[in-house]
Amino acid sequence: MKKLWWCLVLCTVMAGCSQKPPDAFSVHWEKYVSRFYANGRIIDTGNNQVSHSEGQGYGMLFAVAAGDKPRFDALWRWTQRTLQRRDGLFSWRFTPCEANNRQCVDDDNNASDGDILIAWALLRASQAWDNTTYKQQALTIIHAVQRKLIRQQYGYTVLLPGEQGFEKPHRVQLNLSYWLFPAFADFQQLTGDSIWSQLLRDGERLLAQTASQGKGLASDWLWLSEQGLSARDSISAHYGYNACRIPLHLVWQKNTDASLLSPYLTFWQQDKVPATVDVITGEPADYAWSKGMQVVAELVQFKAGQSAAPPSFALGNEQDYFSASLILLSELALMDSRQDG
């Protein structure tokens, strides 16, 4: 009996020792889940508790990185049932309502960053869990993006921000933060279609234009015409809560043009960095950047050799959905770069 008892104790101890402690990203993901996840949807706590395709894509990316397949599948099921349109793209916004289903979608136009994020998450999931169904679902979305949202305009291959509302006579409105360069590289590798490398290259060409204007920062929204890029009369002429993702997307790819980072690195050298700045007038916001924006800057500075150590990616309770998402995106970008060698 004593022998049996000792065997049970030994087995219990060995089983406990064999379990790996959770990695840092998984710990941060659990914190994120506790604050922003509910029944398969990511909740934007800074915007009336809505959910949108961007947030679902972020959640799916994070779930794959954390190895959390049950939550990944729950996120994907909710996204398919609630947001996915017949053409394979996704309605961009779900505002909670009594029906708690597809009827709560109050704008069925898509947002191309959300479409791309979801496709990219599915592709990464197919690789992480050797799942061909995820791969086929990713391809459906990728082909829909290519068919409906990629255009040849004014000497550039461009990505429309959405299917409706952005093409006007003699000009097209762009959001360069929707151009996820590392995703484009993976789509190119998957499909073998050069359109993705063209889109990546021309995104960098457009950012080179913004880098040569004024403070060099890209605004959240821009018009492209025969005359080039302009923020005037766009949805927003501010470098702010959209464009803050651009330097992150630049350093996330394998080969970064360091000259494109220069305006952002200069902007971050201020003693007090504002959350936004008007790229036309130079007028800054009277409130500071978020913790998520700061972590993006610290990661870019680290990748650019201006800092000896990467930032801390721990989430605090004060951060809203978007700030917390920027922190986990930055951590994921660093993880990817280390895996690439």
**Catalytic-residue membership of 283:** no
Cβ-contact 66, 25 below 8 angstroms: yes
Report the C-alpha gap between 210 and 279 in whole angstroms.
10
**Catalytic-residue membership of 204:** no
Residue from 113, 163, 202, 331 carrying the catalytic annotation = 113
Report the C-alpha gap between 320 and 338 in whole angstroms.
28
Sign of dihedral through CA atoms 133, 136, 141, 142?
Answer: positive
Instruction: Classify residue 272 by burial, with Cβ atoms within 10 Å: 0-12, 13-18, 19+.
Output: exposed
Residue from 23, 30, 44, 54 carrying the catalytic annotation = 54
CA distances in angstroms from 193 to 146, 185, 199, 268, 298, listed in the order given? 10, 10, 11, 37, 34
Report the C-alpha gap between 327 and 54 in whole angstroms.
15
Active site residues: 54, 113
